[in-house]
Amino acid sequence: TLSWVIFLTSGIVFILAGLILAAAIGMWIGATWGWWLGTTGYAFSVVLNVAGMMIVTVMNPQAEALSSSYIKNGTRAFIAGLIVLYLFQDNVLAYFRLQNWSKGKLFGVLAGITLGLYAAHFLIVQIVFAALVV
Amino acid sequence: VKRPIGVSILVVLLGITVLLCIFICVNILS
């Protein structure tokens, strides 16, 4: 039966809802952790969607799949990228009390967290698919 | 420091996303 997949999916969506709610509250009150949570989320979206386009290009390079993925994932990555760019503006960083950080250092830490998250995501997806196949 | 307008817009969008997630959760489980 697939019931555990249904529970897992809804559990992940529920945890995601909690994280997004936390990011919304943190950003509303101007907490520094709110900036990190929100910016990591959007940066992760950029990485996921760019990786999605690359995976389709390698695994399923048919015109239809390619154009659909490039439009869908490309738009998402572009919008999320613009939001990350906005969150690096001086007035936004000042609001989150991050003006003492250099942007290079902020970006470096953000890239480290995001790529680490992607590695963890990749591993989890592999494990879940392996479990589904078995 | 005053809250930038873009941050307020993002917070509203995030709030809508939370509601959507809960809606999806309820739908998956029912």
| Model pLDDT, residue A8 | 85
Contact check, Cβ <8 Å, A20/B18: yes
Residues of B in contact with A24 (CB under 8 A): 11, 14-15, 18
Give the span between the Cα atoms of A91 and A130, in whole angstroms. Answer: 46
pLDDT exceeds cutoff 80 at B27: yes
What is residue A128's predicted lDDT score, i.e. its pLDDT?
84
What are the tens digits of pLDDT across the range A37-68?
Answer: 999 999 999 999 999 999 999 998 899 999 99
Is there a contact between B28 and A6 (Cβ–Cβ < 8 Å)? Answer: yes
Distance of CA A83 to the CA centre of its chain: 12
Structure tokens that stand for A107 in this block: 């970006």
User: What is the complex's ipTM, to 2 decimals?
Assistant: 0.93
**Looking at the partner chain, which of B4, B17, B18 has a beta carbon nearest the beta carbon of A91?**
B4
Q: Could you tell me the pLDDT band of residue A117, with boundaries at 50, 70 and 90? A: very high
Q: What is the longest distance spanned by two Cα atoms in chain B?
A: 45
By the 8 A CB rule, do A61 and A82 touch? no
Look at the alpha carbons of A12, B22, A95, A77 in this order and tell me if their dihedral is positive or negative. positive
CB atoms within 10 A of CB A70: 14
